[in-house]
Structure 1
Amino acid sequence: MNKNSEEKIPYTKKPLSISLQISKLKDRGLIINDEKLVGDYLSNISYYRLRAYTYPFQDNVNQDADHAFTRKDIHFQDIIDLYCFDRRLRSLIFNAIEKIEVAFRTKIVQTYSEVTQNSHWFKEESLFQSKYYWESGEKIFIYDTLLNDIYHEINRSNEDFIKHYKNKYIQPKMPPAWMTLEVISFGTLSRLYELLIKDDNKKAIAKSIGLNKIDILENWMHALSNLRNCCAHHSRIWNRRFIVSILLPNNTDFPFIDRNTIPAIRRNKLFAYLCCIKYILDIISPYNDFHRNLNILIKDGGKLLSLKEMGFPDNWSYLGVWKNTL
């Protein structure tokens, strides 16, 4: 029977005290040497959050096993080590994506502001593709949706320069591009770029990041905006399968991944995303230490860390984008 077609049942599980949480972990085979220390951890990191890190090492198929650990050598501290690795990795990635996002904003604003000589060029409908979607039988113009989202994000902003514009100027209601695009979300920014007409201006932005196809940059920015949100909301990324699969080009301006290796890379796993981050960082921040810091995290990741779960191939450090950059 398909999992989605299984008959639903009422939720009857009761909340567990921390002492009962500890007992459950011990009953399932997790080695706990210091219950007080474990209690302290569970008082600050919820049992349910840690479940994401114990789950891969438990029997989650056989109901009679009651999620017993399939390995007998796992200590609670091993789970904490894996949790801390994931937390530090999120921080490293978040900081890297911040640089990419800022550069991406800057290139869009500068390119289109200069070309159009219009402070509010994002309100020029002619610059955008005529795309529609249907919702509840109604035909919706995607550009109108984008502009509406931009307007709402500006209104939510507490930035002083937005307040200053609203207090001083009557028209237009929205601030100029160099203010507006600073406060919209990365996701909205990636949608704006995707909706722009595919012309030389749009291609120039991709080219400035060493990419020869607009579609690749569209995909990368969409994927990285989703990854950024995972990091911002403290979601697990260690062995996650991401919704957006990364496109891996074989005609980049600088070393990336050779065409023979590309088919073996899992495009919905973290390694593919890290390759894109590293590639862009090397262009916008040539002396970055992303690779070195990533290696430090991996070395301190603990005994449960599996690079394979993140999509790393065995020879990953010898691939073009990673080679000779330590």
Structure 2
Amino acid sequence: MTDRIDYTKTPLTLAEQVARLKERGLVFDDESKAIAYLFNISYYRLRAYTYPFQENGEDSEHNFIREDIYFKDIIDLYCFDRRMRSLIFNAIEKVEVAMRTKIVQVYAESTGDSHWYNDENLYRFGYEDLMEHIEADVNRSNEDFIKHYNFRYNDPPMPPSWMALEVVSFTTLSRLFQSLKLDNRKEYITEQFGLKKVAILENWLHAISNLRNCCAHHSRVWNRRFIVSVSLPYNTLYPFMDRTTIGQIRTNKLFAALSCIAYILDIISPGSDFKKHIKELLKSDCRLLALKDMGFPKYWQSLPVWRER
């Protein structure tokens, strides 16, 4: 570990921010317009979009490695990413709602217990930690139905599953599904999402919930290496990808996660326009956009999962 030093950098005015970017090789058509952009989209936020085009060694000056990159190109890339996040976030909502519904219905019906999620015998690990997360999410909720339950009922202290699991985060829901014991209920839910292995659905939920959090917090998804890599199966119930293609996909890039979302939406939301909107967005006039930066193979549109059904 290197020795830590004091942080001595001072704040820059908007004009100084433009001057620094110019000094490093970024081209500006209209500096006053650029200043207005930087007052709405911070210099530091845009750094995520300039970084791949700069020298970034420990002792480098962070100069741009190309002389033809304009401030407008960076803004276009930022806007592309924002639109992509919006499409993804709206699509994940459908996946999340379907998952909540299926878990609650299957387990409530099979146990005949409104509060089945409190039963430690249903879990293979992580029970106490999971209950802490569920309780925290429920207590944080401002939903009227949670307030009504707390006002009207004394016992059990927590609301029934169809209330409690409606307000927990997608991350908590993903943890719950992973923690549940492997049995025919988990296998049945997995099949409803067109998958044969429970472990694959567990992985997809983990990866998609991580992607959802990136979108919710306005974090970059373009050119990102996600911390949760996606497991891509070749033996799905419906057409997905062939084994050769799967071996070539970068599973920590956006394309892998998008393919999983597209596959699920074809099942739970037939007629969804998600794939159409993704294809339209990728045609956008963004000079710096390269599909390989997001893990897209050249022939991606011909893959079964990306064909229109």
Q: Which residue identity is paired with 1:161?
A: F
Counterparts of 1:134-149 in structure 2 under 5 Å?
Answer: 142-149=126-133
SS in 1 for 2:304: coil
Please report the TM-score for the alignment, with normalisation by the length of structure 2: 0.98
Given the alignment of the two structures, is residue 175 of structure 1 paired with residue 170 of structure 2, yes or no? no
Offset at 1:200?
A: 0.2
Matching residue within 103, 106, 115 for 2:110: 115
Equivalent residues of 1:255, 1:321 under 8 A apart: yes
Counterparts of 1:116-131 in structure 2 under 5 Å?
Answer: 116-129=111-124, 131=125
Q: Which residue identity is paired with 1:63?
A: D
Q: Which residue identity is paired with 1:33?
A: D
Percent identity (aligned): 60
CA distance in 1, matches of 2:263, 2:285: 24
SS in 2 for 1:91: helix
Aligned residue in 2 for 1:21: 17
Matching residue within 68, 82, 85 for 1:90: 85
Offset at 1:87?
A: 0.4
SS in 2 for 1:260: helix
Offset at 1:257?
A: 0.7
**Greater mean deviation of Cα atoms: 53-62 or 94-103:** 53-62
Aligned residue in 2 for 1:106: 101
CA distance in 2, matches of 1:113, 1:61: 55
Q: Which residue identity is paired with 2:282?
A: I
Matching residue within 43, 49, 52 for 1:47: 43
Counterparts of 1:58-97 in structure 2 under 5 Å?
Answer: 58-61=54-57, 63-64=59-60, 66-97=61-92
CA distance in 1, matches of 2:298, 2:148: 54
Matching residue within 271, 275, 289 for 1:287: 271
Q: Which residue identity is paired with 2:243?
A: R
Q: Which residue identity is paired with 1:317?
A: Q
Offset at 1:61?
A: 2.2
Equivalent residues of 1:85, 1:301 under 8 A apart: no
Gaps of 5+ in 1: 132-141
Aligned residue in 2 for 1:277: 261
Please report the TM-score for the alignment, with normalisation by the length of structure 1: 0.93
Aligned residue in 2 for 1:322: 306
Q: Which residue identity is paired with 1:322?
A: W
Matching residue within 210, 214, 220 for 2:204: 220
SS in 1 for 2:11: coil
Cα deviations by residue, 1:288-315 (Å, 9 ceiling, x for unpaired): 0111111111111501001101000010
Matching residue within 145, 148, 159 for 1:161: 145
Q: Which residue identity is paired with 1:118?
A: D
Aligned residue in 2 for 1:194: 178
Q: Which residue identity is paired with 1:237?
A: V
Question: Closer, same or farther in 2 for the Cα pair 1:62/1:158, shift >3 Å?
Answer: closer
Offset at 1:6?
A: 2.5
CA distance in 2, matches of 1:238, 1:210: 28
Aligned residue in 1 for 2:214: 230
SS in 2 for 1:16: coil
Counterparts of 1:248-259 in structure 2 under 5 Å?
Answer: 248-259=232-243
Question: What RMSD in Å do the two structures reach over aligned CA positions?
Answer: 1.0
Given the alignment of the two structures, is residue 32 of structure 1 paired with residue 16 of structure 2, yes or no? no
Cα deviations by residue, 1:175-196 (Å, 9 ceiling, x for unpaired): 1100000000000000000011
CA distance in 2, matches of 1:25, 1:296: 32
Cα deviations by residue, 1:51-110 (Å, 9 ceiling, x for unpaired): 10001011112735x111111111110000000000000000000000000000000000
Matching residue within 193, 199, 205 for 1:209: 193
Query: How many aligned positions are there?
Result: 309
Equivalent residues of 1:90, 1:231 under 8 A apart: yes
CA distance in 2, matches of 1:12, 1:304: 33
CA distance in 1, matches of 2:285, 2:215: 18
Q: Which residue identity is paired with 1:176?
A: P
CA distance in 2, matches of 1:308, 1:105: 34
Question: Closer, same or farther in 2 for the Cα pair 1:20/1:210, shift >3 Å?
Answer: same
Q: Which residue identity is paired with 1:21?
A: Q
Cα deviations by residue, 1:236-267 (Å, 9 ceiling, x for unpaired): 01000011110001110011111111110001
